[in-house]
Structure 1
């Protein structure tokens, strides 16, 4: 191994309780050619004395004493200036290197000079040095990450935030010359910002074994990096947003195309204005769990529409109008006074409610004491009345009037309720059409059922209310779609899991689903979690919407009842329009993680489709805004009307193909990354105006076929037996 010097940076502020142990863990490394630069950031405890003492024992300790506390980024950047080594390592006060940490990381970095930063896994310890991985399982799991490509890391950082332990890193000092030092404006999250900048320039690597003990002592108020404190959470979240915005401010056009083209709404985007549009749409999707930060994308798109030709570009190339832009303002995009006052009011209401409940509890205790005496008196009366009741029930008149009492009882019964958790309120129109057809399904089979929806956005706030409302005999259900798997875990499956665990005594039915877990450590872990939770419920039925998912489910589940049922949107009545078909062709191609197609693919398809229509329009069933229940039908019918009035549709969206089926629109469909489109096609393969294609080379032949084929009015009759089977699963 080449004996390169490593500069280890240790910023410290009042960390005397653990400082000595941290320094010793660095000096005891099997890799000995290092300097430990301890930057004391104006400590007022005994830290300076400890640092000087350690310097006397080992000359590799280099103290840097700052005259006042300016926090971590200032200290780290001073350390970078002082560093003599070709490589930089980091450690925080309270953390401890395992003996071979630096040796293993240097071995990898010297063998892979292209690597921009090398990390390790970590163990969590408390202030006494005890490993607390199980106690702090959520935090521990966050740091147990697999290796990813540069593209995958950037996607993860943008959508999920940081997951790499800062004190575990070693990076070549030259990478700082390329991306710049720590951002001085950041008191937290400085590492997250740096990792994104490095990932744009070079690969990241994790040595998949714990080589660092990381202090995670939430009881220690002086620990700088403690994200668990409420006072730091808001700042950390704001910094995450700032870091993502800064990334898109500085990314070059070449980097944007290289790393994000597969999520472009228009894969052929290349001009500066087109790429600015793509940045806007990417930013709209970065924080789907928090609409307050949609303003990042809104700002960029607002700049586009004020550029010459910007409005027309968005309409023609992206299917995004000024009305769509205005709709983004329907959500609170800033934590403004309205939202703040609303939150303050809710806090006051909560405090008032708490006081009321405490008063009621005291009153009930008093009443309970009084009733104890009353109960003793009533008990004797009850015994006497039971004797009288027994005599009445044995009488002839009681037996004769039994049918009348039964009818009266039925008329007074509570209407049965089915709760759907979680229903869609995000921008996927396919999922909204699923809920429309579920309601249609119940009107046909169970007209007496009352259907109540709890949307994804409102699940957390409605959860307690739901626990109180659901009664024995009510049924809980999850809508169909593609929610089971690790791809969309934060948005759908986590709510299904919670529902299954909260209601063990109610029947639960999950409408027809796809099922897909990635071949990764995370995917396998989530697959096992789902299987265990689903199988724990004594009365759970899961409908799978294609044969692939059904066969996979049979391997995955042991107790869960399984059914093979077509996508519920195929339960639809035919969608008929009086408008004649135009000479416009529609192109509906994914730009998210489910696409299975190479770069430049959209442009090739558009050129082929252009031979069959006077105009080609790119459209989508995915909108960049939330859609409430009252607007659901209008939004869905708008896209159905667009498809119905077009000459043909080319798509790789499952519900794009199904929408073509129910509107009798000629359609050629490509598959998605895990095969759900082709698998669903097997249910409707007899429709003459639908074809599937495996590559662009087949598109012309397939378009010739569907455009010459008859387009009979859609009917669900061939699938009726399957939907009846689903209806029979409900115990009513």
Structure 2
């Protein structure tokens, strides 16, 4: 008889944190699970530790593909081997809180329309030394409802990857993880959201998300800022084709970083009509041949959609307030993209 939840966990050289991660899996109050652990070519003590766990805990299934598949390959190996209708993600350097699986299974059972459920996460690092990541976690925990997740999807990845549980059928319907020069989890969320998959979070903190120096998001080019803006450009373009069709595309912010981010849209056949800025030194000028106007000069919502790439601290709230005051509806007439 198959379990109700398959926990898919790729592992590589995680000997220093693996014991805590596995203990948190085994310590779940929900017991109908299997852990599909994919060893991605570890060269430290990880294989021996995993073998010991598999020997004493029958619900742990250890896979060691040869040759080494890499992270995306390991994730897809795990998905292919999973036997349960629900997939929970977990990483070998994080810690599940005891009620995590129980709360997420209950939420998916109570709301059949939901395709994916995440949860609140605790920042497992030094807040002073890693202030940027800590701020990201704080923001993540404010993005909870399906409406918020969809609204904020172009700002940043709205879900912590090891915190999610989703219905396995989504993989066959919309595809699994894809190899490419992008963060594999963010690309997956964007693709599934683009397909209309509803996602939500259990608002309680049910996972401690460690921020170690070896974390892939710190050492792999697929997770740098350029990669995030490049991958979301494709899905912003798809949203514009649906919701903004027939209207001109204007960009909020005329600074150099904003222009670099916005120009990625042109690779997906999005034509930029102009820029809007509050700096009087920029208003009246031109950027790449496009006019720069003040907020009062923006065409109406019937004529234009606005994308904001302004990323300065506090700017997101100011841009949202400005565009909302002009009676533009977020998610139809404007999107925050940074």
- Alignment TM-score, normalising by the size of structure 2: 0.76
Aligned to 2:278: none
Number of aligned residue pairs: give it: 304
Alignment check: 8 A CA contact 1:22 1:93 kept: yes
Structure 1 residues 168 and 287: CA distance shift in structure 2, 3 A: farther
Quote how far apart the aligned CAs of 1:195 are.
1.4
Structure 1 residues 251 and 4: CA distance shift in structure 2, 3 A: farther
Aligned to 1:223: 215
Aligned to 2:6: 7
Alignment partner of 1:238 is 2:226: yes
Alpha-carbon distance in 1 for matches of 2:6, 2:253: 36
Aligned to 1:204: 199
Aligned to 1:361: none
Matches within 5 A, 1:431-470: none
Alignment check: 8 A CA contact 1:121 1:144 kept: yes
Aligned to 2:280: none
Aligned to 2:152: 156
Alpha-carbon distance in 2 for matches of 1:299, 1:286: 20
Structure 1 residues 20 and 148: CA distance shift in structure 2, 3 A: same
Structure 1 residues 594 and 197: CA distance shift in structure 2, 3 A: farther
Quote how far apart the aligned CAs of 1:55 are.
0.6
The match for 1:296 among 239, 264, 280 is 264
Structure 1 residues 293 and 82: CA distance shift in structure 2, 3 A: same
Matches within 5 A, 1:214-293: 214-218=209-213, 222-225=214-217, 227=218, 232=220, 235-248=223-236, 256-257=242-243, 264=244, 269=245, 274=246, 281=249, 284=251, 289-293=257-261
- Deviation per CA, 1:114-137: give whole Å up to 9, x if none: 1121111111224xxxxx567744
Q: 5+ residue gaps in structure 1?
A: 127-131, 258-263, 306-313, 315-326, 332-424, 433-456, 461-482, 490-515, 517-589, 603-621, 623-732
Structure 1 residues 211 and 165: CA distance shift in structure 2, 3 A: same
Alpha-carbon distance in 2 for matches of 1:6, 1:196: 24
- Deviation per CA, 1:298-327: give whole Å up to 9, x if none: 44557x79xxxxxxxx9xxxxxxxxxxxx5
Alpha-carbon distance in 2 for matches of 1:596, 1:239: 33
Aligned to 1:141: 138
Aligned to 2:185: 191
Structure 1 residues 594 and 77: CA distance shift in structure 2, 3 A: farther
Aligned to 1:319: none
- Deviation per CA, 1:427-474: give whole Å up to 9, x if none: 425399xxxxxxxxxxxxxxxxxxxxxxxx9x99xxxxxxxxxxxxxx
Alpha-carbon distance in 1 for matches of 2:292, 2:224: 26
The match for 1:329 among 279, 288, 291 is 288
Alpha-carbon distance in 1 for matches of 2:44, 2:193: 38
User: As a proportion of its length, which structure holds more helix?
Assistant: 1
Alpha-carbon distance in 2 for matches of 1:182, 1:56: 30
Alignment check: 8 A CA contact 1:133 1:140 kept: no
Quote how far apart the aligned CAs of 1:71 are.
2.3
Structure 1 residues 61 and 429: CA distance shift in structure 2, 3 A: closer
Q: CA RMSD in A?
A: 3.9
Alignment check: 8 A CA contact 1:39 1:65 kept: yes
Alpha-carbon distance in 1 for matches of 2:205, 2:110: 20
Alignment check: 8 A CA contact 2:237 2:268 kept: no
Quote how far apart the aligned CAs of 1:598 are.
8.2
SS in 2 for 1:75: helix
Indicate the structure (1 or 2) with the bigger Cα radius of gyration.
Answer: 1
Aligned to 1:121: 120
- Alignment TM-score, normalising by the size of structure 1: 0.37
Alignment partner of 1:428 is 2:294: yes
Structure 1 residues 484 and 210: CA distance shift in structure 2, 3 A: closer
Alignment check: 8 A CA contact 1:34 1:60 kept: yes
SS in 1 for 2:149: helix
